[in-house]
Each structure stands twice: as structure tokens, then as C-alpha cells.
A and B are shown apart, each in its own frame.
Chain A
């Protein structure tokens, strides 16, 4: 699996966390747009949609956390400090792992920010 048991870091493991964020954003946005386009009464509650957003958000956060654990392993658990400028396979792994870990943190916060409006906005107004 791309975010769990890859032996080596590469471009795909680096891109996985932002891709999870992008998919989460797309699902939330499209689901809310479809639900509100179909709603006859703008005051009617969106309980089902908010539960869907909650589930999708928890799933995305869990996947990003798993990707973060793998990135930490690729990074060498912080044994090697930046800058990673030596042209060796190990240093390249540490660089990719570190960059992926930072992207995991960014994607985690972004997913939380995307989901926050569902906490307070309960209908289509």
C-alpha cells in the first residue's frame, strides 16, 4: 500500500498526503453542492451530509496519520538532520521522508479546516 508498507520513499509516497486532502475536499464540496441543489427547503437540516463529512474527515485524517508514520520511517526517525545535500541513496530517502512528513502535517491541518464549516452550518442558507 502506497502510504503504509513501501520500503522506499518516492514521488508517489510524497504526493499521497496532499492527494488525500484534495480528494477529501472534492468529496465534501461536491456532496454539499449536490445536497443543496436538491434541497427544496433551504432551512431543512443537512444531518446526513454532516455525518458523511464527519466520516470522510476521520478517514482522511487516519490515512494521513498512517502516511505520516511511514514518512517518519523513511526519514530515519530523525537520526539525520537537514540539509540533506549529499548525493547518496540514504540521504535522498531522508530528504523525501522529511518532506513527506511536513506535507502530512500541512494536509492534516487543511483537512480539519475544510471540515470545520460542517460543525456550525447546519443547512443550505
Chain B
């Protein structure tokens, strides 16, 4: 089933970490397996922030194979060595859990080559790279993940999130949403639904050099949009194209450094409720997500079938 939520403050910054946590916690019943956040935080914008994992969370109902923490540490050392080889300068390093890290770094070359080299290390996956994007995903509900990664104090302009019920791939972090729009910095995607032409699209995109890290059908949306943007399309053009290029039922959100978008399939088979005002757009699979941050009476609506919308901060 899965639940998705997103919000964008236009022209100001807010407690986006806490707000998204409240929205996703209200949708917990739609997806109890894992929760993910893509927060666009008020960072200085000078350095790249890379969030990556060197292993899986093997607790909390995970379908992953158990590994010793020492294996994680060795992989982390290999990542550090690779960063040196790539001439990336790590400014700040944070170990968030035994298997996940947040690095602030300086790097000015091709991100695709960079990502390929880092991810050539066994079981290492870059969750995101961006100058404002902070992508966090782990097993557990929204509150548990927020507390584990201390997201309540994150301030920013916008964010998207996902409460996942695993249906077509494992209960693990690699299949959890949001997905990073590799190799673009600051692009992330969350999806509710099923894509039925996943493998056909994946073969075509892999032949074009795009990378898939999981077997989760939702990852296709991020890769699909990234490929369109790589070929010069705007985000909105890529999203409109996806309505015919992707088959199945879906409602998805995509966020970039300065924008937030939504797309709904032509059968409108997946729910979405939207609230839109001059300074705030909030949306979610169910109205209770919006009500969790806007308790006063507001006007909301369901976008129609085949609708694509993009808002700027």
C-alpha cells in the first residue's frame, strides 16, 4: 500500500524535519516496514553532502543477511581510501549508525563517475549526494527513524517522505524510499503504487549507462527522470513524459534543490490529497497526514488523473 507525504514552504524555511515526521507517522498504517525522508535543509551550499550506507539494518524484521559490525568498518575504510583517490576532500564526517554515514565534502568533478567508483565497493550504496538534500531511510516507523537520525531539528524549505509496505522486494534499506535521482545532485523520488513495465524500462536504461541499486520498481521512476534530465528535459517535461512511459498505477513525488513535483497516473488509481496556499503546499496519501501539521480547517482536493504539478520554493 505505502504512504507518501511531501511539503514545500515557499519563500521561507521551517521545521521541515519535524513536520514530515508528523505527516509520515500519521500514515504509519499504510507502511510499517521502513520510513524514508528526503529533506532539503538549510545547509551553507558550499559542500556536497553524501549520505551512504556500508551495510543493512539487520534488525526490525529485516530480510537482509546478518553481518558483523567489523565488516562495516572495513568497508568504510575502503570508501575513505576511494575518496582520497578521487581527490575528494572530506570536511566533516558523521557515523550515524553502524551501517550509515554522513560526509560533508568538497568535490568538483563528474558525479556519475564518482558514484560508480564508490559503489564499486561491495555493499556500499550512496543514498544521496547534494548540497541541500539529506536523504535518510531505515527500517521502522517515522518516529523511530527520526529519533535514530535526529531529524526533528532539521530546518529547511521542503521535503518528501515515504512509509513503506514491502510488496515486491525485501524489507531492507536498499529497497526503501526515497530514491536518489542518480547521478544528479539534490534529486529524490518517492512512489506509491506498482510499475508493470519495470524490467523493460530497466533493460533500456541500463543499456544507456544508468544504475539501479535495488530491484524495487519505484527506483525506476528516479532513474527514468534522471535519464530524461540528462538528455536536457526539464523536470516537468520528464514527469509528463513518464505518464505514458511508465505503465502501472502510481502517484509519485519528486524533489530537487528548489522545487517539488507530483504526478498521478492516468487511471488515478492511487490516492493523493493536496493542500495549496500561497506559502505552503502539503500533500499526502491521506488527509490525516496534512491534518497532522495543519489542524485548522483548510480546503484540500484530490488531483485528477494524469495530473502533473511542480512548485518552486
| A and B assemble together | no
Interface residues of A (CB under 8 A from B): none
